[in-house]
């Protein structure tokens, strides 16, 4: 699905005028976002929308926490797609398993240290725990998806 189609579907849930009013933008701009934009064709009526811009930010920076934040705001979380295959199944499986265990250990360490210093988890410590938890969820889900897709399956000769 194209970004303009996603935005069009979203706008239709409340109506373009309501969405524009809540965003304090003109309905015309919302309509433009919902039309296909082609930067190489001056005759297209659409314009680059926020989703296209966000995709470019991620592409340029390689900073996926932007996506993680957006997923968190939508009450979900981001999961990286695992590699399609692996060259060394035993080594890759061991490395992935170790990485998962290390991520869990780091989270437990953060929790333990937070409580150990004063018997409570303060807001800044809770924020660090949240960051660790989000990383752990992503790491674990990526590992499970790789298992489900047969990434760690040995090829029969």
Residue extents of the structural domains in the chain: 3-63, 64-157
Instruction: Tell the burial category of 34 from Cβ atoms under 10 Å away from its Cβ (0-12, 13-18, 19+).
Output: buried
CA 18: distance to chain centroid? 27
CA 79: distance to chain centroid? 6
Question: Which 3 state secondary structure label does DSSP give 107?
Answer: helix
- The encoded tokens of residue 89 equal 């199944």
Place of tokens 């660090």: 128
The predicted-structure confidence for 83-98, as pLDDT tens digits, reads as follows 655 566 667 778 888 8
CA 127 to CA 73: how far, in whole Å?
A: 15
Length of the chain: 157
The predicted-structure confidence for 118-155, as pLDDT tens digits, reads as follows 999 999 999 989 888 888 887 888 788 888 888 777 76
Whether residue 48 contacts residue 3, with contact meaning beta carbons closer than 8 Å, is answered with no
The predicted-structure confidence for 3-27, as pLDDT tens digits, reads as follows 999 999 999 999 999 999 999 999 9
Please state the pTM of the whole predicted model: 0.60
């Amino acid at each position: 699905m194209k970004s303009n189609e996603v935005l069009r579907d979203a706008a239709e849930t409340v109506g373009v005028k309501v969405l524009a009013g809540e965003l304090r933008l003109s309905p015309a701009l919302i309509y433009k976002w919902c039309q296909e934009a082609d930067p190489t064709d001056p005759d297209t009526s659409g314009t680059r929308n926020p989703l296209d811009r966000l995709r470019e930010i991620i592409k340029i920076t390689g900073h996926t926490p932007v996506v993680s934040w957006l997923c968190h705001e939508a009450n979900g979380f981001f999961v990286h797609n695992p590699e399609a295959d692996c060259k060394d199944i035993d080594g890759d499986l061991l490395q992935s398993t170790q990485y998962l265990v290390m991520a869990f250990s780091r989270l437990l360490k953060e929790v333990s240290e937070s409580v150990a210093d004063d018997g409570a988890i303060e807001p800044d410590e809770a924020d660090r725990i949240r960051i660790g938890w989000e990383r752990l969820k992503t790491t674990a889900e990526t590992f499970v998806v790789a298992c489900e897709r047969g990434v760690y399956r040995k090829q029969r000769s």
